Structures are given as C-alpha cells and as structure tokens.
Amino acid sequence: MTLAIIVGLLVAGGIYLVLQREMLRIVLGFILLSHAVNVLLLAAGGADRRGQPLGDSPDPATTADPLPQAFVLTAIVIAFAITIYMLSLSVVGRGDDDTDVLSDAARADRGAHEDPPPIEEIARAHGMTLSTGSGGGTGSGTSTGSSTTGADA
C-alpha cells in the first residue's frame, strides 16, 4: 500500500510539472514520472512478499524475483539518457523559447496590439473594389457601382 501511495504522489507531481511552461520544469516532471515507473516495477515484483534478492537460503519462494530489478535497471538507464537529451534540448533551444508570459509593453514591441489594416486596403490587395454607397455592403465584396434599395423603387 505504501508503494502505491508513493507511485501516486510521484505521478501527480510529475504530471503537474510536465504541464508547466518552462522546459526545466517539464524535464523535472519527466524525472518524477520515470521514478514513479521504477517504483511501480519494483512493486510489481512483489517487494512486500519476498525477502532479499540473494538471501541465506536459495529457496525460490523466499528470494526476490530478479526480473523486475533488471527492468528497473534498464528503465533507469533509459530515463537517464532521455533526461540528458531533454536537458540538452532545453539549453540549445533557450533562445527560441517564447513561452514566457509577456507584459503589455513587450507585446506592443512585438506588434501584438497593432490595428488591423482597413478593409479597403485588404480589398485592393486582392483586386476587389468596394462600393461607398449606402447599399449596406452585404455582397460578394465586388461592386458594380449601382445599388437598389427599397426606398428607390
């Protein structure tokens, strides 16, 4: 039961950190998740039902199963390699990381609050003309210059 609680806490902390924005916290969350998998593999081997791996007697009923321990050693090596790879990616990609929360002044510098271009400029860029009459402007975007309304008839 204790190992299940430990696995649950490690998974909860790992998922919380993976969902953060900074790359270092994501890497730390991955490390917690890999530790949770290691503890889960050890718990699957029956750590509470068995004794030492190489005990006093070679009775297979009382000695621990070496297969989960081999899986955990392999998982430790793989997790270490992936952690080093993720840390190197975080160092190399530090300049490209735009996940920081920007202030309003920084957004203004980057052009996030620029007004959109006027509709006439967009229409000219696409080779269209807009009517300036009182027709209402509900059409295909091109105009022939004449509009009829209910008041004209």
Name, of 24-28, 48-52, 133-137, the range with top average pLDDT.
Answer: 24-28
What pLDDT was estimated at residue 12?
97
Fold designation for 2-92: Helix Hairpins (1.10.287)
Per-residue pLDDT tens digits for 76-132: 999 999 999 999 988 887 766 655 555 555 555 655 556 777 788 878 888 888 776
32 three-state secondary structure: helix
pTM of the model: 0.56
User: Please, what is the average pLDDT of the chain?
Assistant: 76
Cα–Cα distances (Å) from 65 to 34, 49, 112, in that order, read: 21, 10, 60
Q: Where are the domains of the chain?
A: 2-92
What pLDDT was estimated at residue 153?
45
What pLDDT was estimated at residue 90?
85
What pLDDT was estimated at residue 105?
57
Where residue 27 falls among pLDDT bands split at 50, 70, 90? very high
Q: Produce one character per residue of 39-69: b if its CB has 16 or more CB atoms within 10 Å, e if not.
A: bbbbbebebeeeeeeeeeeeeeeebbeeebe
Say which range, 48-57, 61-70, 101-110, has the weakest mean pLDDT.
Answer: 101-110
What pLDDT was estimated at residue 102?
55
- Six token digits for residue 94: 């530090």
